[in-house]
Structures are given as C-alpha cells and as structure tokens.
Amino acid sequence: MEGQDEQMTGARAAEERRADIYDEDGVILSSFLAQIGAAIADRDTLTLKREVDDLHQSELGHLLEALHPEQRRALVELLGKDFDFSALTEVDEAIRRDIVDSLPNAQIAQAVQDLDSDDAVYILEDLDQEDQDEILSQLPFTERIRLRRSLDYPEETAGRRMQAEFVAVPPFWTIGQTIDYMREDNNLPDRFSQIFVIDPSFKLLGAIDLDQILRTKRSVKVEEVMHETRHAIPATMDQEEAAREFEQYDLLSAAVVDENERLVGVLTIDDVVDVIQQEAEEDLLRMGGVGDEELSDSIFSTSRSRVPWLLVNLLTAFLAASVIGLFDRTIEHIVALAVLMPIVAGMGGNAGSQTMTVTVRALATRDLDIYNAGRIIRREIGVGFINGIIFAILIGLVAAAWFHDRNLGGIIAAAMIINMFVAALAGILIPLLLDRFKIDPAVASAVFVTTVTDVVGFFAFLGLATWWFGVR
C-alpha cells in the first residue's frame, strides 16, 4: 500500500507540474515563458535548472521552440552540462542547427556521449562534414565507430535511424548466464525488449523476447528457446518501408543487419513513430508544393522553397487562359459565360483534389497496387459520374433561374458532368502514372490534376456554348 500511495503522490505531482506549464489545449503558458525569460535575462542559473530539471525531453523541446532565438542559445549556455541534448531531437531542424552552431564542438562531443546512438546521429547528421569529424575524433573509439557507421548510411534509411546499442549473446550461453550478463554489464542500453543471438562473426541467428527469458529455467541454453528473426531489416532499407514492416507485423523492435546479415543495430518503435509522423508531414507538405518547409524557417528560405511550384502553376494557368482565349467571341456575345465558367473549373478542381488525396495516401501506404487498381479506378469513375449528375442538376437549375435561360442551365449542367468525370479520372490516373515512372506523386500530382480540370472545364463549357448558340 505504501508503494502504491507513493506512486499516486508522484502522479499527482506530475499532473500539477504539467498544469503549471501547459494550458488545457497543451500550449505553453505565457506565465511560464515569462518566468523562464526573466531567469535568462537575469542569468539566474539556479532558477533555470530548477524549472527545467524535471521536464521531459519533448517538453524541453516545446520550450525551446517557444523561446526567441537569442533566448534559446542563452538557455543552453546557462544550463551547460545540465542541458538535456536529447531535447534537440524534438525541435525543427532550423532550431536544432541554430543551437548546435552556437556551441563549441568540444561541448557537443561531451554531450553526445550521454545520448543513445540514434539521438546522437540525429543531431550530428545536420552538421558539416568538418564539424562531424572534429566531434567524432573526441569520442571514445567504440562510440566513434558506432556513430560513424550509422552516419555512413544514406539519409532516411534504417541504418540512420537505428540504435547501435543492443544486447547480443552467443547461442551456447544458458539463460542464467544471459541474466547475469544483463545485471552486471553497465554498457547495455537503458531499455530493450529483445536479446539477439549471434555467431562469432556477429551474423544474426535469432532472438529471444524478455518475457521468454523470465519464463525459462536458468539451465536452459539460449539456442533451445530462441526464435528466428523473421523481420530483420536491412540497414539500407528506406525508413518508410521499415515503418511499414513494424505496422504490418506489430513489432516493438527489429534487428538491423548489413549486407552480410551481420547485426549492426536495432530499430525501436519510438523511432518508427517519429518516422511515420515525419513521412506523413512530408507527403502533406509536398502535395501543397512547399517541400520540406518548417515553421522555424526564415522568410527568404520559405519564399525560395515555394517559388518553383508557384512558377509551374503560373505556366499551367497560362495554358488554361489560352483555352479561354479560343472562345473570346463566344464570351463577348454571352457575358454570363464569364460569370459561370469558374464554377465548372472550381468544382472539377475540388473533386480531382479529393480523389488525388485518397490516391496519393493509398500509394504511400501501399494499400493501392496492381491487384486492386482496376477496382479503385472503376469506383472513382462511378463516384465522379454520380457527383457530376448531382451537381449538374443543382448548378443547372441555379443558372437557368439566375439568367432566365434554360439553354444556359443545360449547357453548364452537361459541362459539369464532363468535368467531374474527367476530374475523377485525373485524380487517380495521374498519381498512378507518376508512381509508375518513379516520380513522387505527392509532389507533382496537384499541378497536373488542377491543369487537367481547368482546361477540360473551360473547354467543355465554352465549347458546348459555342456549338449550341452557333457563335462564329
């Protein structure tokens, strides 16, 4: 009962502490920021240490993002060796680089020695090669080799995200020897859920879950209870593919092996969750044509990242405008067309974007493949046709009543059906074609889908009006 009471007291204290920092929406309180800002201005190190000492790394990361740049650098400087560098894995890249660039390499080298290797790599990979080499040269040999090996793998691969610290034992050990090893060796990772079994050349043979060890007698040999690691992940595998392995097989951790099937690290679920969030954000940003933009980026870098796709959009807009130019005489005779034609193009663009979003996401998660593509295409065509009829009736009635012209209502209704049908086709076929040609559909689909719906919408509406009213 006493231990339970202590846990409840600790939980209440943590809850009260969080209430001092965050409001009910999870936003840092202005009063807490003011308190930290005042301590920084006064260079009150004792107050700063007291206020941030019990913060989780993610909470310290939120604090860093909420502070002004000069306050962030001052906070890290004042805390010195008491600053938790793992918090830098929780902030935007621009903020992380700003803080790290302000620190001497000797301090960074000292700090990364206390981090898990995956966190250390996350910080070091943003540095210039010269700074990386200088920092690594100041580390103990074993630690230096581990980090260098991870850094040598390409970005966004399992090798970059893996933790180089793991627990591995030979197959001829007993369970008792394994337990004693875990108790006595101080260099093991702080947290792990699997023990890997290797041969003398570090080739992966199998694994044992910790719960299996607890249920097995000390005299039993490891090789008798180990299981094959059916989901070992190659170090060069893309991190998104690795995350998909975790999702499909409900993994908590997985061995990472090199090209010779030798164990080089372990990928854990906390890293995979970060990868899933990162990849989802990248897809969302790319669909908007903003690349890898972050909230902490400067005005100039943000503008520079958005200009290329805006330029492409400008060129495609000229293409749509040229279609309108083909029917300038028709528009001169029937001014109502100029009022109504944006409705046709806009509805088609929105419908195409809906289909495109679903398709791009399905491609990213591998839910859409050659086996179900035909069925999904037929479904989207059916949806486009039905929605086209529904909105054709609505806009046709509105246009006929607005301009007192049933012919005009019928023309825009027909154009709406055509464009909604084409929008559904474009929304699914364009991402599929781009994916087929190894072009990221999240990046390029939006421009092409919008262009198709604009061009077809204008051409269908104005072309039908020219034909029906006989304008020459």
State what percent of residues in the chain have pLDDT above 70: 94
Quick one: which H or E segment has residue 357? helix 336-364
pLDDT at residue 357, rounded to an integer: 87
φ and ψ of 264, to 5 deg: -120, -10
Which residue shows structure tokens 């003398």? 200
Side-chain half-sphere of 421: how many Cα atoms within 13 Å?
11
pLDDT at residue 6, rounded to an integer: 53
pLDDT at residue 268, rounded to an integer: 92
The rounded distance, in Å, linking the Cα atoms of 374 and 311 is 34
**125 secondary structure, DSSP code:** T
Mean pLDDT by 10 residues, the chain (472 residues): 54 71 86 93 93 90 92 93 92 90 93 92 92 94 92 94 94 96 87 92 93 94 90 94 91 93 94 85 69 68 76 86 90 88 93 91 82 90 94 95 94 96 94 88 85 94 91 62
> Helix H segments across 220-335?
222-225, 239-249, 269-287, 299-325, 328-333
| CATH top-level class of 22-156 | mainly alpha
- CA distances to 323, 332, 459, 466 from 328, in Å: 9, 6, 12, 10
Q: Which of 357, 364, 233, 367 is nearest to 288 (CA)?
A: 357
> Helix H segments across 93-209?
93-101, 105-112, 117-124, 129-137, 141-152, 158-161, 175-184
The rounded distance, in Å, linking the Cα atoms of 47 and 35 is 9
Domains 22-156 and 168-269 alike in fold: no
CATH for 168-269?
3.10.580.10
Strand order in the sheet with 263-268: 233-234, 253-257, 263-268
DSSP annotation string for 16-80: HHHHHHB-TTSPBPHHHHHHHHHHHHTT-HHHHHHHHTT--HHHHHHHHHHS-HHHHHHHHHHHG
Quick one: which H or E segment has residue 196? strand 194-198
The rounded distance, in Å, linking the Cα atoms of 348 and 198 is 59
Question: Residue type for 454, please?
Answer: D
The CATH architecture of the domain made up of 299-469 is Orthogonal Bundle (1.10)
pLDDT at residue 370, rounded to an integer: 80
Q: Which of 188, 114, 112 is nearest to 151 (CA)?
A: 112
**223 secondary structure, DSSP code:** H
Using an 8 Å Cβ cutoff, are 253 and 193 in contact? Answer: yes
- CA distances to 196, 207, 258, 279 from 232, in Å: 11, 10, 10, 21
Enter the tokens of residue 418: 């055509």
pLDDT at residue 307, rounded to an integer: 79
Count of CB atoms within 10 A of residue 5's CB? 9
**89 secondary structure, DSSP code:** G
User: What are the sequence ranges of the domains in the chain?
Assistant: 22-156, 168-269, 299-469
SS3 81: helix
User: CA 307, 100, 20: angle at the middle one, nearest 5?
Assistant: 95
Strand order in the sheet with 194-198: 168-169, 194-198, 204-209
Q: What is the CA radius of gyration of the chain?
A: 30
